[in-house]
């Protein structure tokens, strides 16, 4: 198929060259008649050079021979005969052939250099885009995707990248590439170190397609292993394909090493493993601690209500201390569990229609013991619209607000809880008369593990409460805000939740019916 296509193309090129010679001959015959031109065989260099630069050596030689024949037939005596009498005709024909060969060779070399330059420009652009994508990668999976896409663009073949086993195990989003079993087996051999990383190997799948497998880096499998589908080709094409793969991977590996991606992959893997270990440890320890804590809280509550202790002020105070500290530890454990849920992207709200007043009062009741020595005022209008939220998550966020208000205000001060609906949102505010906020505290109070320098030595806490509250409200489509007139002037922490008025009106209409 390829040979016939080449013959057809060369025949077409030769035909074009002969047409140019014929056209020039017509022009020259006309000039001879009209202008008295004796002969202009040197002009046949024009079609020779055109054919050499545009259609190659075969077309140029055809133009040279045709030009020499036309010159002998039309312009050298005896006219209209191919008999060569004048040695000048031999010189002209030799010149035509010499020019045809040299010009075609120069043109071919120029085209080759142009193609190389164009290919190099495309490769440079691809490599630049590859470098930029690597610089913007956020994780191991992003880096691997960048490598695979870059190699696919360079090779113009299907390229599948298999991450190192440690990377694929540590990345939750990584998916096992789908390839024929023969290819997968060869990839495993290279990954296990049973093959030279640079040489790799080849294998055919059930459809007869040839696959080239080798490591991304010639030094190790740190960056993974690639499999290139070369299609229905014989093994003869492997050498050429390997050269192209080597060239592409040389650029890719150089870029990876220059950007320190090996270190980035190692760090990302270590962070992923450390995060998994931390979450597993927190979850295990938290659940193991909550069982004895429940027993301690239950026992302390029973002891606190026992008639025998009613007149024992010191013992009763100790029981209350045990209960309070157990409750505080239980809250801290709950915060750790909530933080683990948020870090694992597993906060999935179970939404339902709820009364804002019910959520607020249940949050106050849950914080009743801590709010006992504060003057709590509640201003919740009776006509607030229903909200479509997870009431448990919103209640937990409010409990964090109450805990924060109690922690940073003095006994006997006032805590105001208010709610209002406006502009399609429901706002719930918790206002205290406590320590207030500095500009730095206001900017970072919703950050994970943040605690203001003013309170490090005077109050306990993990710095997770408000971060958890923000995450829970965000999961319900809401926002959290805080404002303060400054240090010592109290704080207003607020929640904004969307109100779906159309849905509420529809529900109210159904209820009226």
Residues 6+ apart with CB under 8 A from 30: none
Listed range (116-130, 270-284, 374-388) with the worst mean pLDDT: 270-284
Residues 349-358, mean pLDDT to the nearest whole number: 91
DSSP 3-state percent helix, strand, coil across the chain (nearest 5): 60, 10, 25
Query: In this predicted model, which residue has the larger pLDDT, 226 or 416?
Result: 416
Q: Is 422 exposed, middle or buried (0-12, 13-18, 19+ CB in 10 A)?
A: exposed
pLDDT classification of 501: cutoffs 50, 70, 90 = low
Instruction: Kindly compute the dihedral angle of the four CA atoms of residues 146, 148, 152, 154, in this order, to the nearest 10 degrees.
Output: 60
Query: In this predicted model, which residue has the larger pLDDT, 77 or 37?
Result: 77
SS (H, E, C) 392-410: HHHHHHHHHHHHHHHHCCC
The Cα–Cα gap between 163 and 222 comes to 8
**Which of 158, 177, 160 minimizes the C-alpha distance to 168?**
177
- 454-485 residue pLDDT tens: 877 667 667 788 888 898 898 888 999 999 98
Q: Which of 41-55, 164-178, 253-267 has the highest mean pLDDT?
A: 41-55
Three-state DSSP class for 260? coil
The Cα–Cα gap between 213 and 242 comes to 10
Residue range 352-512 forms a domain whose CATH class is: alpha beta
Cβ neighbour number for residue 56 with a 10 Å cutoff:
20
Asked if residue 71 has pLDDT above 50, the reply is yes
Q: Are 211 and 230 in contact (CB under 8 A)?
A: yes
- What is the structure's pLDDT at 498? 92
The phi-psi region of residue 220 (left if phi > 0; otherwise alpha if psi is between -120 and 50; otherwise beta) is beta
The Cα–Cα gap between 176 and 408 comes to 51
Contacts by 379-384, CB closer than 8 A, 24 or more apart: 379/416, 379/417, 379/418, 379/419, 380/356, 380/417, 380/418, 380/419, 381/419, 381/420, 382/357, 384/355, 384/356, 384/357, 384/419, 384/420, 384/421, 384/426
- What is the structure's pLDDT at 92? 66
- What is the structure's pLDDT at 375? 92
The Cα–Cα gap between 375 and 184 comes to 69
Domain spans in the chain, listed from the N-terminal domain onward: 2-115, 137-259, 266-343, 352-512
Q: Burial letters for 273-283: b for 16+ Cβ neighbours within 10 Å, e otherwise?
A: eeeeeebeebe
Cβ neighbour number for residue 115 with a 10 Å cutoff:
10
Asked if residue 346 has pLDDT above 70, the reply is no
Residue range 266-343 forms a domain whose CATH class is: mainly alpha
Asked if residue 73 has pLDDT above 70, the reply is yes
- What is the structure's pLDDT at 262? 57
Residues 494-502, mean pLDDT to the nearest whole number: 81
Query: In this predicted model, which residue has the larger pLDDT, 280 or 261?
Result: 280
Q: Going by DSSP bridges, is the β-strand pair 375-379/414-422 parallel, antiparallel, or unpaired?
A: parallel
Q: Going by DSSP bridges, is the β-strand pair 387-389/352-354 parallel, antiparallel, or unpaired?
A: antiparallel
DSSP string, 1-18: -HHHHHHHHHHHHHHHHH
- 304-317 residue pLDDT tens: 778 877 777 778 77
Handedness of CA 125, 126, 129, 135 (dihedral sign): negative
Residues 328-333, mean pLDDT to the nearest whole number: 74
pTM for the model stands at 0.45
Percent of the chain with pLDDT over 70: 73
Asked if residue 208 has pLDDT above 70, the reply is yes
Q: Are 349 and 389 in contact (CB under 8 A)?
A: yes
Q: Do domains 266-343 and 352-512 have the same CATH topology?
A: no
Q: Are 351 and 389 in contact (CB under 8 A)?
A: yes
- What is the structure's pLDDT at 361? 92
- What is the structure's pLDDT at 371? 87
- 144-199 residue pLDDT tens: 777 778 777 777 778 888 876 545 444 444 455 678 888 888 888 888 777 777 77
Query: In this predicted model, which residue has the larger pLDDT, 494 or 207?
Result: 494
The Cα–Cα gap between 131 and 136 comes to 9
- What is the structure's pLDDT at 394? 92
Taking each helix axis as running N to C, give the angle between helix 87-135 and helix 45-54, from 0 to 180 degrees, rounded to the nearest 10.
Answer: 30
CATH of 137-259, one of 2.40.50, 3.80.10, 3.30.450, 3.10.450: 3.30.450
- What is the structure's pLDDT at 3? 65
Q: Are 94 and 58 in contact (CB under 8 A)?
A: no
- What is the structure's pLDDT at 420? 92
The values of phi and psi at residue 226, to 5°, are: -110, 150
- 262-307 residue pLDDT tens: 566 666 666 666 666 666 666 666 667 767 777 787 787 777 778 8
């Amino acid at each position: 198929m390829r040979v016939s296509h080449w013959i057809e193309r060369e025949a077409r090129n030769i035909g074009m060259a002969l047409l140019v010679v014929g056209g020039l001959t017509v022009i020259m015959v006309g000039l001879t008649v009209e202008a008295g031109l004796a002969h202009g065989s040197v002009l046949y260099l024009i079609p020779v050079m055109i054919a050499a630069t545009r259609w190659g050596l075969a077309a140029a030689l055809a133009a040279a021979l045709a030009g020499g024949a036309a010159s002998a037939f039309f312009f050298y005596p005896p006219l209209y005969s191919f008999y060569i009498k004048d040695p000048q005709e031999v010189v002209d024909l030799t010149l035509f052939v010499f020019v045809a060969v040299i010009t075609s060779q120069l043109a071919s070399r120029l085209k080759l250099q142009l193609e190389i330059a164009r290919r190099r420009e495309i490769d440079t652009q691809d490599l630049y885009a590859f470098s930029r994508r690597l610089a913007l990668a956020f994780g191991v999976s992003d880096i691997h995707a960048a490598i695979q896409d870059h190699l696919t663009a360079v090779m113009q073949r299907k390229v599948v990248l298999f991450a190192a086993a440690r990377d694929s195990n540590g990345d939750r989003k990584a998916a096992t590439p789908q390839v024929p079993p023969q290819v997968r087996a060869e990839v495993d051999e290279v990954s296990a170190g049973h093959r030279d990383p640079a040489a790799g190997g080849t294998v055919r799948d059930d459809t007869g397609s040839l696959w080239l497998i080798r490591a991304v880096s010639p030094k190790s499998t740190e960056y993974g292993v690639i499999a290139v589908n070369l299609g229905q080709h014989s093994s003869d094409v492997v050498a050429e394909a390997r050269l192209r793969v080597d060239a592409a991977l040389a650029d890719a590996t150089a870029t990876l090493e220059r950007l320190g991606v090996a270190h980035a992959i190692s760090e990302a893997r270590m962070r992923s493993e450390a995060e998994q270990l931390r979450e597993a440890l927190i979850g295990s320890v938290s659940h193991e601690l909550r069982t004895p804590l429940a027993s301690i809280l239950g026992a302390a509550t029973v002891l606190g209500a026992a008639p025998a202790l009613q007149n024992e002020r010191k013992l009763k105070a100790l029981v209350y201390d045990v209960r309070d500290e157990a409750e505080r530890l239980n809250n801290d454990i709950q915060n750790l569990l909530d933080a683990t849920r948020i870090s694992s992207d597993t906060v999935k709200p179970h939404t339902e229609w709820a009364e804002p007043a019910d959520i607020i009062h249940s949050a106050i009741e849950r914080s009743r013991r801590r709010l006992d020595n504060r003057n709590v005022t509640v201003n919740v209008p009776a006509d607030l619209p229903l909200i479509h939220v997870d009431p448990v998550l919103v209640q937990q966020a409010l409990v964090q607000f109450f805990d924060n208000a109690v922690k940073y205000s003095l006994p006997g001060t006032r805590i105001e809880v208010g709610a209002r609906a406006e502009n399609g949102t429901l706002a719930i505010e918790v206002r205290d008369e406590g320590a207030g906020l500095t500009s730095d505290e206001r900017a970072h109070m919703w950050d994970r593990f943040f605690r203001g320098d003013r309170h490090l030595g005077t109050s306990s806490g993990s710095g997770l409460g408000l971060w958890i509250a923000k995450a829970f409200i965000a999961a319900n489509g809401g926002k959290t805000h805080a404002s303060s007139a400054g240090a010592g002037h109290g704080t207003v922490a607020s929640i904004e939740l969307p109100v779906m008025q159309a849905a509420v009106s529809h529900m109210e209409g159904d209820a009226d019916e």
